[in-house]
Amino acid sequence: EKAGFDHFMMKEIHEQPKAYRDTMGSRIDASGRKVVLNEVKLTAEQLRDVNQIHIVACGTAYHAGLIGKNVIERLARIPVETDVASEYRYRSPIITKNTLVIVVSQSGETADTLAALREAKRNGARVLAITNVVGSSVAREADDVIVTWAGPEIAVASTKAYTSQLIAFYLFGLYLAQTLGTQDEAYIAEVIDAIKLLPEQVEYILGQAEAVKQVAEQVATHEDLFFIGRGMDYAVALEGSLKLKEISYIHSEAYAAGELKHGTLALIEDGIPVIALATQHDLFEKTVSNIKEVKARGAYVFGIHSAGEDELKKSVDQTLEIPKTLPLLTPALSVVPLQLLAYYASLARGNDVDKPRNLAKSVTVE
Ligand code: F6R
């Protein structure tokens, strides 16, 4: 049942190329220039009336929502707020009939996410669900559903569900852009072409697992570490940090790289590992300068960068290169080494990788 892998988590990490392909599947038309979302019943007129989007979710799905915010704002120029469901539902959010609420949930059964969905509907918003389970509570109660075709996810630590949620956001962002006319056709086609390359690019990263394992074995000897990045790299850093904490029980913190000098830099001591994401071309120099700040304080830095930007090698102790893609799409690649890092660190510590202590796969209590 684990298809030759030692753990479900590793099997599911390796199923990502297929999950990407299945999630894009028939949603890209034959010409390769258009996204088709037949399941979304929202009309063009209704979409034109949307003046704000709220993305609501928990845990890893919330982290996918942080990427979703970046994607939708860049592609469709609609203001987006991403919120944790257990916060959103109690803070009396400003929801109107022109608000589109997107709930993200692998299981479709998370109590707080479901309650947030109901709160949104009570306030007259239209709700779109991104979920992995057809027929789940979230899927049944939402007005529209985009199913992520990741297949069943057994390991408690979410991997392929998260990345499939990213694919769903890319497709929905493009769909909005195409419907609202916020991006020209040539650019939309360029993004689609790049999305189609992601599965084989993930395969390439999986081929580098051994290099990540070495870093993980070193990380596993520490009790504290940091993940840093800017922009979408920061959102990926949050997910990498959660994954590591969840299964290795090593404390880590994700920091927006530019925020370090506003406090946390004091915690960087000799030898402390810092996982630095520098995949965003426009932010590369800025992130490198933050990396130099932590290096100067003795940190051991593992840097993840895009192909062609290997100047990073000069500033860090160890690097991993991800294949070249559009800046918008790097999260679908850069999270993979972080999943592997968490997996191997958990393994090195002798933990139960698939069933971390105190956690349940589906949180149906509030
Ligand atoms: C982390 C993890 C959790 C879930 C969260 C939401 O690896 O799996 O943080 O992402 O409990 O679950 P769903 O997506 O089922 O609503």
Tell me which amino acid residue 20 is: Y
Q: What is the pLDDT of residues 1-10, one digit of tens each?
A: 898 999 999 9
pLDDT band with cut points at 50, 70 and 90 for residue 338: very high
Residues with catalytic roles: 361
Please name the helix (run of DSSP H) or strand (run of DSSP E) that holds residue 178, with its range, or none.
helix 160-180
Q: What residues are in contact with ligand 1 under a 6 Å CB criterion?
A: 58-61, 105-107, 110, 113, 157-158, 246, 362-363
Substitution candidate for ligand 1 out of 110, 165, 359 with most atoms within 8 A of CB: 110
Q: What pLDDT, on a 0 to 100 scale, did the predictor assign at position 364?
A: 79
Indicate if the pLDDT at residue 73 is higher than 80.
Answer: yes
- Give CA–CA dist 281/25, Å, rounded: 29
Query: Once rounded to an integer, what is the mean pLDDT over residues 294-321?
Result: 93
In this structure, which long-range contacts are made by residues 37-45, counting pairs with CB atoms below 8 Å and at least 24 apart in sequence? 37/146, 37/171, 37/172, 37/175, 39/144, 39/145, 39/146, 39/147, 40/128, 40/144, 40/146, 40/172, 40/175, 41/143, 41/144, 42/100, 42/126, 42/128, 42/143, 42/144, 44/179
Assembly ipTM: 0.98
Q: What is the pLDDT of residues 197-240, one digit of tens each?
A: 999 999 999 999 999 999 999 999 999 999 999 999 999 999 99
Q: What pLDDT, on a 0 to 100 scale, did the predictor assign at position 83?
A: 98
Q: Which of 20-24, 82-86, 123-127, 263-267 has the lowest mean pLDDT?
A: 263-267
Which residue is closest in CA terms to ligand 1's atom 5?
59
Side by side, the strands of the sheet bearing 52-57 are 80-84, 52-57, 99-105, 126-131, 144-147
Query: Once rounded to an integer, what is the mean pLDDT over residues 89-107?
Result: 96
Query: Once rounded to an integer, what is the mean pLDDT over residues 148-160?
Result: 96
Indicate if the pLDDT at residue 365 is higher than 80.
Answer: no
Q: Which two tokens stand for residue 272?
A: 């402390």
Query: Structure pTM?
Result: 0.97
